[in-house]
């Protein structure tokens, strides 16, 4: 659970680097939370109100984490825009997020594997 809460605590931090494990564990926890919120929202009859509020609440933390993940691979956060290209962009973004980060320090900071 700390994977999820640690990202929320750094909700406006776009500097530094994040590990693959941190990114994908947050994605997994977020997916589970989205499913639970959507079910609760549907049961109480307010769909999509709670779902939209939750999505809005995790937008900045998720974006910050994705930028830090790209920094770990040596890419700028602007590479997030590649996801706007139909079909190929989303797949390429997933590949970038799954790519191992640089073992050495880069312009975005030291290796997060060695820092933690």
Structure tokens at 76: 């700028």
Segment 12-25 shows an average pLDDT of 95
Tens digits of per-residue pLDDT, 40-73?
A: 999 999 999 999 999 999 999 999 999 999 999 9
User: Measured in whole angstroms, how far is the alpha carbon of residue 28 from the centre of its chain?
Assistant: 10
The pLDDT of residue 17 is 96
The pLDDT of residue 116 is 60
pLDDT exceeds cutoff 90 at 95:
yes
pTM: 0.93
Contact 109, 103 (CB under 8 A): no
Beta bridge partners of 106: 109
CA dihedral of 33, 25, 102, 9, whole degrees rounded to 10: 60
**Of all residues in the chain, what percent carry a pLDDT higher than 90?**
92
SS3 114: helix
């Amino acid at each position: 659970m700390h994977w999820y809460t640690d990202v929320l605590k750094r909700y406006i931090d776009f500097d530094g680097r994040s590990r693959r494990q941190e990114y994908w564990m947050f994605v997994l926890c977020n997916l589970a939370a989205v499913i639970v919120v959507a079910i609760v929202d549907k049961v109480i009859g307010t769909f999509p109100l709670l779902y939209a509020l939750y999505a809005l609440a995790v937008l900045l933390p998720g974006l910050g984490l994705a930028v830090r993940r790209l920094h770990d691979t040596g890419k700028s956060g602007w590479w997030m825009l590649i996801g706007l290209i139909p079909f190929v962009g989303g797949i390429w973004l997933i590949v970038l997020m799954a790519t191992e980060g640089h073992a050495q320090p880069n312009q975005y900071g030291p290796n997060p594997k060695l820092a933690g």
